[in-house]
Amino acid sequence: MAEPTIFAHIESRHGVCGGKPCIAGTRIRVQDIWTWHELQGLTPEEIVTQFPQLSLADIHAALTYYHDHRGEIQRQIKESKDLVSTLRSANPSPLREKLS
């Protein structure tokens, strides 16, 4: 049986981007593609122009993967934001303190 096409484009590897799903052979995460497309309004063609190592098939596979695993990826995004907030609270910016 042939491997589903999406799995030829998306991989999760231990030690690469915290094991988060990425475009195969890169460190560009599925959540990055989703962010650029949904939050920044870039079209798949614009993303490929900015990242020529990617193909349109990579972009569409990443968006498909996101929609198939929305809850998991949104949880990962929230965990990352929470970690950043925790680290910022524990380690205030000396420059920000001088400016305030």
CATH code (residue 91): 1.10.10.10
Per-position DSSP letters for 2-59, written without gaps between them:
PPPHHHHHEE--TTSGGG--EETTSS-BHHHHHIIIIIS---HHHHHHH-TTS-HHHH
Express as a percent the part of the chain with pLDDT over 70.
Answer: 94
Nearest to 64 by CA among 19, 5, 12: 5
pLDDT at 93: 84
Range of the domain at 52: 5-99
- 39-81 tens-digit pLDDT: 999 999 999 999 999 999 999 999 999 999 999 999 999 999 9
Q: How many domains does one find in the chain?
A: 1
